[in-house]
Chain A
Amino acid sequence: MASLVGAFATSHGPLLVREWQAVPDEQKQRLSAAFRELGKRVSGAKPDVIIAVAPDHWSNFFLDHLPSVCIGVGEANEGPPEPWMKDFPHRSIAGHPGLAMHLVKSALDEGFEPSVSHRLKLDHGICIPLWRMGLEPMPRVVPMIVNSIEPPFPSVARCLAWGRQIAKAISSYAEPLRVAVLASGGLSHSIGERTMGAIDESFDRECIARFSSDEKSLLRFLEEKLPQAGNGTEEVRNWVVAHGAAGGRGFELIDYLPVPAVIVGCGFASWRP
Chain B
Amino acid sequence: MRDYWLSKLFFDLQSPAAAAEYRSDQGKVLARYPLQENVKRALSANDVPFLAERTNAYLLRYYFFAIGWKDEEFIRRLRGG
Contact = CB atoms under 8 A, between A and B. Distances in A.
Same complex for A and B? Answer yes
Interface of A: 57-59, 62-63, 81-83, 149-150, 191-194, 196-197, 231, 263
Interface in B23-81: 52, 56-62, 71, 74-75, 78-79
A194 B16 contact: no
B52 to A, nearest CB: 7
Contact of A194 (B14, B61, B71, B79): B79
Contacts of A150: 56
A196 B14 contact: no
Contacts of A191: 57-58, 61
A263 B70 CA distance: 14
Nearest to A190: B57
A197 B79 CA distance: 12
Interface of B: 2, 4, 7-8, 11, 14, 16, 52, 56-62, 71, 74-75, 78-79
Contact of B75 (A57, A59, A83, A196): A196
A63 B9 CA distance: 12
Given A63-B2, A196-B75, A197-B75, A149 B7 contact: no
A83 B61 contact: no
Nearest to B72: A197
Contact of B14 (A58, A193, A263): A58
B61 A196 contact: yes
B11 A58 contact: yes
Given A63-B4, A196-B78, A231 B57 contact: yes
Contacts of B60: 192
Contacts of A193: 52, 57, 78
A149 B2 CA distance: 14
A59 to B, nearest CB: 8
A53 to B, nearest CB: 18
Contacts of B61: 191-192, 196
Contact of B62 (A58, A196, A231, A263): A58
B7 A63 contact: yes
Contacts of A197: 71, 75
6 contacts: A62-B7, A62-B8, A63-B7, A192-B61, A193-B57, A231-B58
B21 to A, nearest CB: 15
Contacts of A149: 56, 58
B33 to A, nearest CB: 14
A82 B14 CA distance: 8
A57 B7 contact: no
Given A57-B58, A62-B8, A63-B2, A192 B14 contact: no
A18 B72 CA distance: 14
A58 B59 CA distance: 8
Contacts of A57: 58
Nearest to B63: A192
A209 to B, nearest CB: 28
B78 A62 contact: no
A13 to B, nearest CB: 12
B11 A192 contact: no
Contacts of A231: 57-58
A231 B58 CA distance: 9
